[in-house]
A = this chain, B = another copy of it.
Amino acid sequence: MSKLVIVGTVAFDAIETPFGKTDKILGGAATFIGLAASHFDVDAAAVSIVGGDFPQEYLDLLSDRNIDVSGIEIVKDGKTFFWSGKYHNDMNTRDTLATELNTLADFKPVVPTDYKDAEVVMLGNLHPLVQSSVLDQMTTKPKLVVLDTMNFWMDCALEDLLNVIKRIDVITINDEEARQLTGEYSLVVAARKIHEMGPKYVVIKKGEHGALLFHNEHIFYAPALPLEEVFDPTGAGDTFAGGFAGYIAKTGDTSFENMKNAVIYGSTLASFCVEKFGTERMQNLSSNEIHKRLLQFKQLTQFEIELT
């Protein structure tokens, strides 16, 4: 069974959307990535940090999904990273109301010994130096390293970001971030420039408009499933990344054709994530539901024009 290392925050989120608001609930990139990846037959480990205030039941929730949590450091007298945000009416934009780094400020990820030879490494959004330090610990070159990042690091730690980007295979960023990173408006040109920075594969997430996969001159465009109601977009990008990385880890196939499927799995899982607040929908997701929605994705996108 392939090993998958997941590095990212495990956190408390408080979320406000036009549909309601939550108290502090379970959140964090590694949480969403892990829950998504847990639907594939892989040996996954989460590497993160939490405080003494983090409930054991949340850790159990990950363990119960067969995610190794030995790499989640618990700082007994520290507090868990906390993020709070409010979504605007269109659900595409949000304001951050609070960011309390707490224990995350001193996060030095330690990859568990058993996972230093993992085939796939999924680096969730974190300081690029922290992401780099994970790659330094791998004793075998991973078959695939996927990195997620955001505009904040482009503003504050661009050089470090460019250094870690050189070392990875797949980058996942949103359309505005791709434009910021390259100074190019056209996503086709932006993706080409990002290729030149290192990653052979570029995934550009466009939220409700889907996701694009670029590899040299090849492009694949997976639309997002149109939904009646988007309840809470928090974690959708991480869920996408977790589905993507989990599928690649399970299949062990890094061809462009197989990455198309990974994008479809990522989009499928993300379409569930937004249906309820936080991780709620992802905690109770059956393989039958995933299967049905994959069929919907096929119906949504596949057509029969005979061409030779």
Q: Which residues of chain A have a CB within 8 Å of any CB of chain B?
A: 89-90, 185-189, 206, 209-210, 212, 218-223, 226-230, 257, 260-261, 264, 291, 294-295, 298-305, 307
Which B residues are CB-close (under 8 A) to A221?
A: 210, 223, 226, 300-301
A89–B185 contact, CB under 8 A?
Answer: yes
Could you give 8 example pairs across A and B, Cβ below 8 Å?
Answer: A186-B230, A188-B228, A209-B209, A221-B300, A257-B303, A264-B303, A294-B307, A298-B307
Measured CB to CB, the closest approach of chain B to A194, in angstroms, equals 14
B188–A260 contact, CB under 8 A?
Answer: no
Given contacts A226-B221, A227-B186, contact A298 B291 (CB under 8 A): no
A188–B226 contact, CB under 8 A?
Answer: yes
Given contacts A223-B221, A226-B187, contact A305 B300 (CB under 8 A): no
Give the CA-CA distance A223 to B267 in the complex, in Å. 14
Measured CB to CB, the closest approach of chain B to A61, in angstroms, equals 28
Measured CB to CB, the closest approach of chain B to A11, in angstroms, equals 29
Give the CA-CA distance A227 to B191 in the complex, in Å. 12
Q: Which of A189, A212, A303 has the most CB of B within 10 A?
A: A303
Q: 10 closest A-B pairs (Cβ-Cβ)?
A: A221-B223, A209-B209, A260-B303, A188-B228, A188-B226, A221-B300, A261-B305, A301-B301, A186-B228, A294-B307
Give the CA-CA distance A301 to B263 in the complex, in Å. 11
Which B residues are CB-close (under 8 A) to A209?
A: 206, 209-210
B223–A300 contact, CB under 8 A?
Answer: no
Nearest residue (CB) in B for A184 is B228
Give the CA-CA distance A204 to B301 in the complex, in Å. 15
Given contacts A89-B185, A185-B89, contact A261 B304 (CB under 8 A): yes
